[in-house]
Amino acid sequence: MRLSLKERWDICHSYLNEVDMKALEDETIVMYSFFPKLCSSYSSFENIAVESFFKAPYEIIEDEIHNFKIKSQISFMALAVLAIKQTISNISFSIDSREYDKLYQDVFHESAVLQYPSKNLLKSSLVAFIGSYVKKDKDDFMFSNETLQNMVLRCIANTLIESVIQHCKTDKILIDIANNEGCKPFVYACENYCTPVAKYLLHHCAKWIHVDEKYPIRNNGSVLHIVSARGYVNLVILLLKHKADVNLQDEHMCTPLHLAKNSAVVEALLHYNANINAVNKLGRSPNKRWFNTLHEACRNERLSAVQILLDNQANVNEANKHGWTALFSCARGCRAIVDVLLQHDANVNICDEDKVSPLVLACKEENTNVVGELLRSKANVNYCDKDKCSSLLVACKTGNVELASLLLRYSADINLADTDMITPLHAACMNNNNTKLVLTLIESNANVNAADKTGQTPLFKSIFNEYTAIVDILLRYGAFIDIYDKSGLSPVAVANRKGNKTVIRALKQHRPINKIV
């Protein structure tokens, strides 16, 4: 239904106040066939000037285009083709044209329409839009007005960016036009980590893209500053390959290297000869902040990045706020990185805020290879954390026999107890039911009758946990049964409470000997 000018003004009176109506002109209210919807929707967009809203109702157009995409894919494709070409001749639907055929194919594939539409079907869809989106003269289809065309083009570009770039006129793509924030399309693509779009723009629109252009809203930094700060290493490398200035400074005199978020970015920038001594306004050079990057490289097992950072004066022993150095960051990981850190004089006996050493941490992580490297580099095998927990005690809690044996070969104190007087043998009898570990400790002269803070020996712990085989081993190696803990319980009493008849029988039959015969 076509509305007259008077009818449109009457609708305005129903929805808009007098002040808003005065901002509108005749030519504005006749721009769109969906004018009544504009009037009813305006109250939802009170932060937008009435004239701007009625001339360029992007939110409404975007919603309609999205609905076409979901519910009427042929209509979406027809509008997309028209938005890209601006005008389509009527005859193009009835003849073979390499230009149009390539466009149809590209739009079809990129839009993921399920069935390839015929040219007649596309033409019929455009005819159906006449009076709303489309107008037609004798020879051509076109949009009702240029503003509508630009809005539709912007909407379909969200889905069909490659087709838009390849087939649309460059004055419509506006590749070198900034948005309200001052960011151009290429920067926007990089900032939002749209790597395929960034690559496509560089390939097809390189002459309009200035990779070193500075952006006031981004501290007068370049796009390389932006992607370096966000850790987008793929885009960093892409820009560097396209001759981005690796040492360009922003308004704070920071280079991309100052802002590099992670070791992968640092590695890429250094590979392209970033200046490690460039000084910003605060007098800081990149290597003054590299300890965080070094830690991150160690955690992620980036050996080449670690090597590059250390070769460029990263401080191997600088600690974070928790007292962790780089060696802590790889205690659970790569032996090769540990080797590199040790070659650069990493301190193996430095401790964090909880008095944990790299060796204790590596034992917690059961990383035997790293533990071996640390021990060979003179790590203190008997150093204890704030709870007096030694590396051997940690290993016994995990039940790792290989790890415990390694520590014992480096003279770990077999009876060193923590603040609760728990010895490594106590821990072995409390965790994992590992008879091999218990035998290893006993054969290394562990005291089978050492009592903890509660007066309990390893025999108490094994009975409580119903580790029958361990109970038998302890009894054979001289564990006392006629003793009491601080609550007055004997091993037999604990066994009776647990109701384990096998353990009770073993205790009653026990005849302690000092060795297996």
Q: How far is CA 59 from the centre of its chain?
A: 31
What is 175-283's CATH topology? 1.25.40
Could you read off the pLDDT of 249-270 as tens digits, one per residue?
A: 999 888 898 888 888 898 899 8
Look up the CATH architecture of domain 289-380. Answer: Alpha Horseshoe (1.25)
* Residue 284 pLDDT greater than 70, yes or no: no
Comparing C-alpha atoms, which of 211, 189, 191 is closest to residue 200? 189
Query: Mean of the per-residue pLDDT values for the chain?
Result: 86
| Token duo for residue 74 | 């042929």
164 vs 141: which has the higher pLDDT: 141
Mean pLDDT, residues 370-386 taken together: 95
* Cα–Cα distance for residue pair 316/95, rounded to 1 Å: 71
Q: What is the pLDDT of residue 344?
A: 93
Cα–Cα distances in Å, from 214 out to 211, 225, 246, 312? 9, 9, 13, 28
* Cα–Cα distance for residue pair 494/485, rounded to 1 Å: 10
Query: Is 3.40.720.10 the CATH number for 415-517?
Result: no
Positive or negative, the CA dihedral 98, 104, 109, 113 is: negative
Mean pLDDT, residues 26-39 taken together: 82
Could you read off the pLDDT of 78-114 as tens digits, one per residue?
A: 998 998 888 888 888 877 777 788 888 888 888 877 7
Q: What is this structure's pTM?
A: 0.57
* Residue 187 pLDDT greater than 70, yes or no: yes
Of the listed ranges 73-82, 331-340, 341-350, 428-437, the least confidently predicted one is 331-340
Q: What is the pLDDT of residue 182?
A: 66
Q: What is the pLDDT of residue 429?
A: 96
| Kind plus residue range of the DSSP H or E element containing 229 | helix 223-230
